[in-house]
Amino acid sequence: MPHKQPGVVANVIRGCLGNLVEWYDWFVYASFSIYFAASFFPEGNLTAQLLSTAVVFAVGFLMRPLGGWLLGLYADKFGRRAALTLSVTLMSFGSLAIAVTPGYASIGILAPVILVVARLAQGLSVGGEFGSSATYLSEIATSRRRGFYSSFQYVSITVGQLAALLVMIVMQSLLTEAQMYAWGWRIPFALGAIAGLVVMYLRRSMMESEHFQLSRASGSSPRGGLRILLRSHFRQVLAVLGLAIGGTVAFYTFTSYLQKYMVNTAGIPKPTASLIGFAALFLFVFMQPVAGALSDRWGRRPVMFGFSIGGMLLTVPIMTLVGKTSDPWMAFLLMITALIFLSGYTALSAIIKAEMFPTNVRALGVGLPHALATAIFGGLSEPIALALKQAGHESVFFWWVTGCIALTFVATLVVREPSRGSSLEVSALPARDSLVR
């Protein structure tokens, strides 16, 4: 109803701010690792130090499925608000620990140990954030605008990525390189920790999902948990995996790896490639609410088909053309084309999955398979691309991305239209296996 709309908007903003901060912190680690690697690891070869920080980054990535499981269980048992508050607290703890930990020269082996613990906490956090956030945004949204409101989850992820890049650009312009190596790299982590504490306070006061409240008050909702999820909703879990594999591989390929590909293969100068990436991602922010609104009008499957069919047909041509062009404007237009189709997945990533599960396992059902797909397939995207380039078979990577997107196409085929007969319409609905053919 109209008088409830401001509450929905306010709580969507609070939910998304936490997502933004968590992804800002996640990308800050990757962006500033070149500056803090020497602080946490013994003096020696810079490449070895960078490799050590990359291994720690990978450890955080592999923690995401555990975060999706544990925080998904927590959200389904204690509430979406409680889980979202816990996830941003874990992320803030990790950022604060990295910001204040003395270097290896001062405390020896404790420095990398603390770094690993901090990244474990952040991996748990970002792994659990997706399922809890997707569930919360889907449940609090008004019935006819669920696609629109839930699309802001990936909007906040993209803005977090842009914020990390912007902080780096500003700091590089204000500080000397020596200052960045000595202490400047600590500032972005401190900013992330402070922002996380502010969001933690805001999340404690946000409205709990009405679906969760009704389910808990009725006392009739069946017990959740991993065993219940796999026994009663196994087909939905497989569908989420299929949807997420192609989507997450395409996301990391076209938002992150593509900028490095412009430099390493096309020969576009690094500052120019960074500018292309920043401008394209800025426009990508506005594409997603449009795609989400279209899904409210046309249904989830047509928009998801737009992504998967477009991705299967255009990935190889786009990557091939980007690799052969030295024109920044052409590279920008090609990246924008890829992001237009990608928005068909990112805008719907939360809602199309949340609509498959009942309240008692929704956060776990969305979060765990998505985190598995992201950790395995998304995390491997860049290493696979670089390994194939090193072996002289770079174009094989384009076909690998296309094949992963084909899995999303198949998953979309077997999923019935989730917005019709959605379990979000009635909080106490039993398992909706009928949503998967």
pLDDT tens per residue, range 169-196: 888 888 888 898 889 999 999 999 999 8
402 vs 317: CA distance, rounded Å = 11
Give the pLDDT of residue 4.
43
Cβ neighbours around 355 below 10 Å, total = 28
Place of tokens 């995996």: 241
411 vs 26: CA distance, rounded Å = 29
Whether 345 has a pLDDT exceeding 70, the answer reads yes
Contact 161, 362 (CB under 8 A): no
In DSSP terms, 393 is beta-bridged to none
Query: What average pLDDT is seen over the chain?
Result: 85
273 vs 302: CA distance, rounded Å = 33
pLDDT band at 49 (very low <50, low <70, confident <90, very high): low
**239: number of CA atoms within 13 Å, CB side?**
28
Using H for helix, E for strand and C for coil, what is the string for 243-311? HHHHHHHHHHHHHHHHHHHHHHHHCCCHHHHHHHHHHHHHHHHHHHHHHHHHHHHHCHHHHHHHHHHHH
- Ramachandran area for residue 358 (φ above 0: left; ψ -120 to 50: alpha; else beta): beta
pTM: 0.84
Alpha carbon 394 to chain centroid, angstroms: 26
Mean pLDDT of the 331-354 span: 94
CATH of 14-205+225-418, picked from 3.40.50.1820, 3.40.50.300, 1.20.1250.20, 1.10.3720.10, is 1.20.1250.20
Residues 411-421 pLDDT 10s = 999 888 877 76
Residues 300-324 pLDDT 10s = 999 999 999 999 999 999 999 999 9
pLDDT band at 78 (very low <50, low <70, confident <90, very high): confident
Sketch the domain layout of the chain as residue ranges.
14-205+225-418
Mean pLDDT of the 396-404 span: 95
Place of tokens 């068909």: 344
207 vs 14: CA distance, rounded Å = 10
Which three-class secondary structure state does DSSP give residue 182?
A: helix
Q: What percent of the chain has pLDDT over 90?
A: 33
345 vs 348: CA distance, rounded Å = 5
Whether 224 has a pLDDT exceeding 90, the answer reads no
Residues 259-288 pLDDT 10s = 888 988 888 887 888 889 889 999 999 999
Which three-class secondary structure state does DSSP give residue 436?
A: strand
Cβ neighbours around 163 below 10 Å, total = 21
Q: What angle do CA 412, 368, 430 make, to 5 degrees?
A: 70
